[in-house]
């Protein structure tokens, strides 16, 4: 069952010590001798693609194991065959590895179905579970409310023998879906509704993506999650805050089945040679990750995909890890983001700009520079001959000489950004105007001598002249020129598809339907624009998923699906500055 046996290594001696309440609990448990080996797990349900909220859980689960010399399992909580698919199992593994983590063992809740079943029979024999004939609607009616206790099921006091017989017949497939459930017998008057005789097994005549047709009864999540942790000897079971009210049920399942004290229940696994360290785990809850200008609900993300409002799960506007990866977010930037957020017990909403800032911070260091023009305006240098060509040397990174340098072709025909020219300049404009001068990045000073327009009055070309004595390093380059713009040689530039991505939603809280509108009504119409731009030849050689800073424009990544040097496709990952701050 093991996918990888490599264990996590402890942090280096000079690594900063992280401080939060979860890590303090772990430190205290180690110091008291309660645990000598730390075991965590990341337990996603394979019913969709992971999103950035899962990144926080991944970094915490694997990070805790790393920092304290422990191990972390990846466990697929695959207890609902109606929603799960092997496609998601594969994608989850790829996402975890992409983030930079390796699991101790790959497990599935379905690996333990026989153990869960034996545990359920033990509960029946102890008088802690019973087979109930109430329909789902009747169960809701009997449950009561936050202010009123529930009512006991008429079948709550069936004998142990009758319950065992019915439960075994449920497993044998004798009954239709919904005819029976197995419920824990706890307390219908409990103030915690989760303890009001919750269902722990239901009948589902569905094939399972991992076990095929072997089962027609499936455990409920709360039961399977608790016993799965106990089977694996998990010491610290980290969950988000919505599971805090479920913790008493988690502890009840662990204590009443008591796998650690009843190794005979583990025989179906030990006979397969599966390494086990059954123990009593502790559930600890932390705040989930919420970001504005997005939705985190798997149901809503699925709806966006199925309705065609986005281009699939890996659409670069999606908050899925697959989409963020295609957008150009790096594992390092997401790990930095999670580290910046910290771990607390208080739910809060993080501004999207924090996420973007972490990407800028990472790419500022790691991305080489290139020149590109995405809204091109033609420039002809009239004092250079047609066919003029030369090569200029540019550093690949202005802050890191180890990146080396490259040669950039220069000719008498250039492309510049259209908004770097203004016939009637606004106040404070420091770039090119008729009769004015601007510094061409790395090439010298250029003067605009003539503006060419088409029949509609649109500027289609600028005729300019270069000052031959203004090359970098020459005395003429010292003249005070207010603006510097970038360019590419039109004779050598490579036409490129550029996808300009932005936030998927135009409002900070798309889930707020107080105005009668749904999250779909708040989709940002400017979240994607596709243009044809031009890039210097050295930029076209990027490998898929390689990031550049296109100077003065932002950070862009070669699309992992569609890019090739022969047909370049670049996605804008993030602008150089926060363009949403002024909109707030």
CB 555, CB 367: distance < 8 Å: yes
| pLDDT of 53 over the 80 cut | yes
Supply 337's token pair. Answer: 């983001």
Straight-line distance from the first to the last Cα atom of the chain, in angstroms, rounded to the nearest whole number: 51
Instruction: Report, as an integer, the average pLDDT of 21-37.
Output: 94
- Nearest to 121, CA basis, from 289, 245, 262: 262
- Cα–Cα distance between 22 and 447 in angstroms, integer? 62
- Cα–Cα distance between 483 and 421 in angstroms, integer? 11
* Each residue's pLDDT tens digit, 414-449: 999 999 999 999 999 999 999 999 999 999 999 999
Output the pLDDT for position 225.
97
Helix then strand count (H, E) for the chain reads 14, 27
| pLDDT of 6 over the 90 cut | no
- Cα–Cα distance between 341 and 350 in angstroms, integer? 8
* Each residue's pLDDT tens digit, 333-376: 999 999 999 999 998 899 999 999 999 999 999 999 999 999 99
Task: Select the CATH number that applies to the domain covering 21-288 from these four: 1.10.275.10, 3.40.50.10680, 3.40.50.620, 3.10.450.30.
Answer: 3.40.50.620
Output the pLDDT for position 583.
67
Output the pLDDT for position 9.
39
Architecture of domain 372-486: Beta Barrel (2.40)
- Cα–Cα distance between 294 and 353 in angstroms, integer? 12
Supply 365's token pair. Answer: 């260091």
Other beta carbons within 10 angstroms of residue 558's beta carbon come to: 24
CB 267, CB 279: distance < 8 Å: no
Output the pLDDT for position 584.
56
CB 464, CB 382: distance < 8 Å: yes
Task: Calculate the alpha carbon distances from 423 to 29, 374, 452, 456, 459 in Å.
Answer: 70, 20, 11, 15, 9
Question: Sorting pLDDT into bands at 50, 70 and 90, what band is 578?
Answer: confident
Annotated binding-site residues for L-glutamine read 77, 221
Rounded to 5 degrees, what angle do the CA atoms 542, 543, 548 make?
45
CA-only gyration radius of the chain, Å: 31
CB 170, CB 203: distance < 8 Å: yes
* Each residue's pLDDT tens digit, 207-261: 999 999 999 999 999 999 999 999 999 999 999 999 999 999 999 999 999 999 9
| Same CATH fold assignment for domains 292-367+495-584 and 372-486 | yes
| pLDDT of 3 over the 70 cut | no
Within 13 Å, how many C-alpha atoms sit on residue 12's CB side? Answer: 2
Helix/strand/coil (H/E/C) assignment for every residue in 150-195: CCCCCCCCCCHHHHHHHHHHHHHCCCCCCCCEEEECCCCCCCCHHH
- Cα–Cα distance between 562 and 538 in angstroms, integer? 18
pTM value is 0.92
CB 35, CB 28: distance < 8 Å: no
Rounded to 5 degrees, what angle do the CA atoms 8, 347, 147 make?
120
Architecture of domain 292-367+495-584: Beta Barrel (2.40)
Contacts of 331 (CB under 8 A, 6+ apart): 98, 99, 100
CB crowding 259-271: b at 16 or more within 10 Å, else e: bbeeeebbebbee
Owner of token pair 């973007």: 356
- Cα–Cα distance between 510 and 504 in angstroms, integer? 10
* Each residue's pLDDT tens digit, 451-493: 999 999 999 999 999 999 999 989 888 999 999 999 999 999 9
* Each residue's pLDDT tens digit, 294-336: 999 989 999 999 999 999 999 999 999 999 999 999 999 999 9
- Cα–Cα distance between 404 and 115 in angstroms, integer? 59
Annotated binding-site residues read 45-47, 51-57, 77, 221, 240, 288-289, 296-298
* Each residue's pLDDT tens digit, 271-294: 998 878 778 999 999 999 999 999
State the burial class of residue 141 (Cβ atoms within 10 Å of its Cβ: 0-12, 13-18, 19+): exposed
Strand order in the sheet with 444-453: 484-485, 437-440, 444-453, 459-466, 376-381, 413-417, 488-489
Active site residues: 45, 288, 298
- Cα–Cα distance between 256 and 531 in angstroms, integer? 63
Annotated binding-site residues for ATP read 45-47, 51-57, 240, 288-289, 296-298
Strand order in the sheet with 181-184: 129-132, 181-184, 199-203, 217-219
Domain boundaries, the chain: 21-288, 292-367+495-584, 372-486
């Amino acid at each position: 069952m093991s996918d990888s046996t490599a264990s996590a290594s402890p942090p280096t001696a000079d690594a900063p010590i992280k401080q939060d309440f979860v890590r303090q609990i772990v430190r205290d448990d180690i110091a008291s001798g309660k645990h000598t080996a730390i075991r965590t797990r990341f337990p996603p349900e394979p019913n969709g693609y992971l999103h950035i909220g899962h990144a926080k859980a991944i970094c915490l689960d694997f990070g805790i194991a790393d920092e304290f010399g422990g191990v972390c399992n990846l466990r697929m909580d695959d207890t609902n065959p109606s929603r799960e698919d092997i496609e998601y199992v594969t994608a989850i593994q790829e996402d975890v590895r992409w983030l930079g983590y390796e699991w101790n063992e790959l497990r599935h809740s379905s690996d333990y179905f026989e153990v869960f079943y034996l545990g359920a029979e033990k509960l029946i024999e102890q008088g802690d579970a019973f087979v109930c004939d109430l329909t789902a609607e009747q169960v809701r009616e009997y449950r009561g409310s936050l202010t009123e206790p529930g009512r006991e099921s008429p079948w709550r006091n069936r004998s142990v023998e009758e319950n065992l017989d019915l439960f075994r017949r449920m497993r044998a497939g004798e009954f239709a879906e919904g005819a029976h459930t197995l419920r824990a017998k706890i307390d219908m008057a409990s103030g915690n509704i989760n303890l009001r005789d919750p269902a722990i097994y239901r009948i589902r005549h569905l094939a399972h993506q991992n076990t095929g047709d072997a089962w027609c009864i499936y455990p409920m999540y709360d039961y399977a999650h608790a016993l799965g942790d106990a089977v694996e000897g998990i010491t610290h079971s980290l969950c988000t805050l919505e599971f805090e009210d479920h913790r008493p049920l988690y502890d009840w399942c662990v204590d009443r089945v008591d796998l650690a004290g009843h190794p005979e229940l583990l025989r179906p696994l030990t006979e397969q040679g599966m390494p086990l360290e059954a123990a009593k785990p502790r559930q600890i809850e932390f705040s989930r990750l919420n970001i504005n200008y997005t939705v985190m609900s798997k149901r809503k993300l699925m709806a966006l995909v199925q309705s065609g409002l986005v281009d699939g799960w890996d659409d670069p506007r999606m908050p899925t890890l697959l989409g963020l990866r295609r957008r150009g977010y790096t594992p390092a930037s997401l790990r930095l983001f999670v580290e910046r957020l910290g771990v607390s017990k208080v739910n809060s909403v993080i501004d999207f700009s924090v996420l973007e800032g972490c990407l800028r911070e990472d790419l500022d260091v790691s991305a080489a520079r290139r020149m590109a023009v995405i809204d091109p305006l033609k420039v002809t240098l009239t004092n250079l001959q047609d066919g003029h060509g030369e090569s200029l040397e540019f550093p690949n990174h202005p802050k890191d000489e180890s990146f080396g340098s490259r040669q950039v072709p220069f000719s008498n025909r250039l492309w510049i950004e259209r908004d770097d020219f203004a016939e009637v300049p606004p106040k404070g404009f420091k770039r090119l105007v008729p009769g004015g001068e601007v510094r061409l990045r790395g090439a010298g000073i250029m003067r605009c001598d003539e503006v060419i327009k088409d029949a509609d009055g649109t500027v289609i070309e600028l005729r300019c002249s270069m000052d031959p004595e203004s090359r970098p390093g020459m005395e003429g380059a010292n003249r005070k020129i207010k603006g510097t713009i970038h360019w590419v040689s039109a004779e050598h530039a490579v036409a490129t598809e550029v996808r300009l991505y932005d936030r998927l939603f135009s409002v900070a809280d798309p889930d707020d339907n107080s105005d009668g509108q749904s999250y779909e009504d708040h989709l940002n119409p400017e979240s994607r624009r596709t243009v044809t731009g031009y890039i210097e030849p050295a930029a076209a050689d990027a490998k898929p998923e390689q990031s550049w800073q296109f100077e003065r424009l932002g950070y862009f990544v070669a699309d992992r699906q569609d890019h090739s040097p022969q047909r370049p496709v670049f996605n804008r990952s993030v602008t150089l500055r926060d363009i949403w701050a002024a909109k707030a």
